[in-house]
A = this chain, B = another copy of it.
Amino acid sequence: MALEHAILVSLLEKPGSGYELARRFERSIGYFWTATHQQIYRVLKRMENDGWVDARDVPQQGRPDKKEYSVADLGRAALSSWLHDPIEPESVRHDLAVKIRGAAFDDPAALIHEVERHRQAHRDRLTHYLAGQARDFTEPEPKPDPEPRPAAQPTGPQPPPDAERELQHAVLRGGIAYERMMIGWLDDVLATLARFGPDR
């Protein structure tokens, strides 16, 4: 499983509390992974016990204190080892595809609204991703980091600092490609469903 690893990556990109992680999993990380706060708190506790992350209490004004987590050496090593382990290419799970094949035994036309809803959701996500891309990845030259990184971590190899940004962009382009593909396919499905009108 990779929830732990997704958390490690997110904390390496920026330390934060369980709550903040949960929010990120609704946004940028959520492009390719989802998790609820219950899951995150549970896993985070285990990771703390295993020494993968360090926690530090951060008092705040006007807000409850938070525990800010950051990646410990053991966590960094665990991530590195996972990165070097091959994983099986997963197959997708599409509830909607089950519905589409199931519609043949019910009323195909009744599915049109559902498919249109999904199409709209994918359009919305695409719009959101494109906005994010325009916001974060339009500068022709990556701006020279005005404040250099705190310090090079002691462990492991150190890729150039803009690798982080470039690879985030590559993943975002994947999200964009996925949403575009889905919109196109759902149009195809709608055209197919339309051929089985309500009274045929």
Which of A's residues lie within 8 Å of B, judged by CB?
2, 5-6, 8-9, 12-13, 30-34, 76, 79-80, 82-84, 86-87, 89-108, 110-111, 114, 117-118, 121-122, 156-157, 159-160, 163-164, 166-171, 173-174, 177-178, 180-181, 184-185, 188-189, 192-193, 195-196, 200
Contact = CB atoms under 8 A, between A and B. Distances in A.
A101 B185 contact: no
B184 A170 contact: no
A170 B94 CA distance: 13
Contact of A171 (B30, B34, B100, B163): B100
19 contacts: A9-B98, A13-B101, A32-B97, A32-B98, A33-B97, A33-B98, A87-B95, A87-B99, A101-B164, A101-B167, A101-B168, A104-B168, A105-B164, A107-B156, A159-B196, A160-B200, A170-B189, A174-B189, A177-B185
Contact of A167 (B103, B160, B173, B200): B103
Given A6-B98, A95-B87, A181-B177, A108 B33 contact: no
A94 B33 contact: yes
B159 A200 contact: yes
Tell me if A's interface is mostly helix, strand, loop or mixed.
helix
A198 B106 CA distance: 56
Contact of A188 (B82, B110, B170): B170
Given A12-B105, A104-B163, A97 B192 contact: no
Contacts of A122: 89
Contact of A101 (B9, B94, B192): B9
Contacts of A90: 93-95
Contacts of A169: 192
Nearest to A35: B93
Contacts of A195: 166
Given A90-B95, A95-B2, A107-B159, A192 B167 contact: yes
A93 B33 contact: yes
